[in-house]
Amino acid sequence: MKTSLSALSLVLAIALAAAAASRFVWLLPLLAVALPYGTLAIFLAGLSWRVVCWSRSPVPFRIPTVCGQQKSLAWIKSARLESPHSTPGVVARMALEILLFRSLFRNTRSRLEDGPRLIQREAKWLWLGALAFHWSLLIILLRHLRFFVEPVPKVAVLLENLDGFFRIGAPVLLVTDVVVLAALLYLLQRRFRDPQVRFISLFTDYFALLLLLGIAATGVWMRYFARVDAVAVKQFVLSLTIFAPALPKNPGPLFFAHFALAGTLAAYLPFSKLMHMGGVFLSPTRNLANNNRRKRHINPWNYPVKVHTYEEWEAEFRDKLEAAGLPVERP
């Protein structure tokens, strides 16, 4: 409880501080120029540093977690996706993992009933919630391209049209806006309600969720209720992209709250568990083929170790070998 409240306070504080600061003209350069460039720089530097760190550690052993039949005898059908034996199989396995969260789809929930009977039942909600969240977020990010590029890229237009498929309200209600909020709320309540998950949750777990929730909420508010001047926002953002920042013509405190939260997320991301985004690509239990006996894997730091050689062994047990009539090298 304490950790989740402090995470909430921190998110609110950032949003409120940004909103309040936007009232003071002399603070605008800080908010509209230093903040975006600063957080972007931290994001890029942090990200590269992290990835360099990971890639500097080698993969000494080929340790896939195999989830299906190996490729062995010709007449036994191997599981190409769950136990890939070649690169295309690995790529497909990774694609399933990254795009559809294959492993999470396996999720079960266990229950101990009288008897005793321990039952493992399918449990797909977490998978659904996670998938809904990540895909909505991706679409929303791509939709945001319309603020960054002129003319608006085709994908952004297309996505927005698809997203507004139901044509409800004005401005048109976008499905992903609803889904992202619902999914985040689901994930958050799960952290509170499930005793096991609550027990393992750290400050950062609440903070990440609440930060995203804050960003989504301010965004939705701007679009549907506050009706922030999108043209002004776009001019401002475009000016940032060409490194000629033009201070915005007052898009309002809400915009800056959104902006500052997004900046915080960018700067926080490389130092947090949110790096799972990049890490999942590198996971050695998933991105290696199960062809261990077919193809030798090289360990760059393989070093000689102290072994007990046959000669030493024979010397130690010579009497016994001879007494048992077993052949020896040096009679």
Partner 1 sequence: MSQPKPEQLVQIQYGPQPRDWMDPAVEFRKGTFCYSALAKNLNYLGLPNARDWQPFDEDWKLPPDWKRIILDGMKERLEKFRSFRLFMDICVRCGACADKCHFFLGSGDPKNMPVLRAELMRSVYRRYFTLAGRLLGRLAGARDLTEDVIKEWFYYFYQCTECRRCSVFCPYGIDTAEITMIGRELLNLIGCNINWVLEPAANCFRTGNHLGVQPHGFKDSVDFAVDELEELTGIRVDASINRKGAEVLFIVPSADYFGTPHYYTFLGYLALLHEIGLDYTFSAFASEGGNFGLFNSHEMIKRLNAKVYAEARRLGVKWILGGECGHMWRVLHQYMDTMNGPADFLEVPVSPVTGTRFEHARSTKMVHICEFTADLIHNGKLRLDPSRNDHWTVTFHDSCNPARAMGLLEEPRYILRSVCNRFHEMPENTIREQTFCCGSGSGLGTDENFEMRMRGGLPRANAVKYVHQRHGVNLLACICAIDKATLPPLLEYWVPGVEVAGVHELVGNALVMRGERPRLTDLRGEPATQAEAVHA
Per CB under 8 A, contacts with partner 1 among 178-197 are: 194-197
Measured from the CB of residue 215, what is the shortest distance to partner 1 in angstroms? 18
Nearer of residues 156 and 288 to partner 1, judged by Cβ: 288
**Residue 296 interacts with partner 1 (CB under 8 A)?**
yes
Distance CA 278, CA 310 (A): 47
Measured from the CB of residue 85, what is the shortest distance to partner 1 in angstroms? 8
**Residue 29 interacts with partner 1 (CB under 8 A)?**
no
Q: Give the number of C-alpha atoms closer than 13 A to the C-alpha of residue 232, restricted to the C-beta side.
A: 11
**Residue 285 interacts with partner 1 (CB under 8 A)?**
yes
Q: Footprint of partner 1 on residues 5-24 (CB under 8 A)?
A: 6
**Residue 326 interacts with partner 1 (CB under 8 A)?**
yes
Measured from the CB of residue 122, what is the shortest distance to partner 1 in angstroms? 8
Query: x/- site string to partner 1, residues 38 to 77, per CB under 8 A?
Result: ------------x--xxxxxxxxxxx-xxxxxxxxx-xxx
Q: Looking at 12, 155, 202, 247, which residue binds partner 1 (CB under 8 A)?
A: 202
Measured from the CB of residue 306, what is the shortest distance to partner 1 in angstroms? 6
**Residue 109 interacts with partner 1 (CB under 8 A)?**
yes
**Residue 116 interacts with partner 1 (CB under 8 A)?**
yes
Nearer of residues 57 and 331 to partner 1, judged by Cβ: 57
**Residue 310 interacts with partner 1 (CB under 8 A)?**
yes
Measured from the CB of residue 281, what is the shortest distance to partner 1 in angstroms? 10
Measured from the CB of residue 15, what is the shortest distance to partner 1 in angstroms? 20
